[in-house]
Homo-oligomer: A and B are copies of this chain.
């Protein structure tokens, strides 16, 4: 169980018990939707309001403490901000994994082919994970 007190403060977020619990839930679970996060939070704070979840998720996004991951045919999930990475989505079980891929050559190709100044990439690779293939 990590202590996110200081990391929250570095992102200009007061370290409330609810926020520390959100941070820990995301740390242990990796990627979570609003509703599953709400479910987990309810176990610890039986009277937590769904509005508190939304307010914190939005504030944490604005302050880049967390990131939203938009998935095809699924609800968005949220993760703690890490070094840039891509995602693997299992279409069978819905599980999401991080994967580090070097996209430099792709970005170069895109720079040549377009007139865009590219700042960031969002890549989701969808398929079937090992467990679900058996």
Contacts and interface: CB of A to CB of B under 8 A. Distances in A.
Interface of A: 68, 70-72, 86, 88, 90-91, 97, 99-103, 105-107, 109-110, 113-130, 133
Contact of A122 (B100, B102, B123): B123
Contacts of A121: 123-126
A110 B124 CA distance: 11
Contact of A88 (B90, B110, B125, B126): B110
Contact of A126 (B97, B119, B126): B119
Most buried by B among A68, A71, A102, A127: A127
Contacts of A97: 114, 116
- The complex is assembled from copies of this chain, and their number is 2
A7 B66 CA distance: 43
Given A70-B71, A105-B105, A122 B124 contact: yes
Given A100-B113, A113-B99, A113-B100, A118 B122 contact: no
A101 B107 CA distance: 9
Contact of A116 (B71, B102, B127): B127
Nearest to A118: B127
Given A88-B118, A100-B113, 9 more contacts: A68-B72, A70-B71, A91-B119, A97-B116, A99-B110, A101-B106, A116-B125, A120-B125, A121-B126
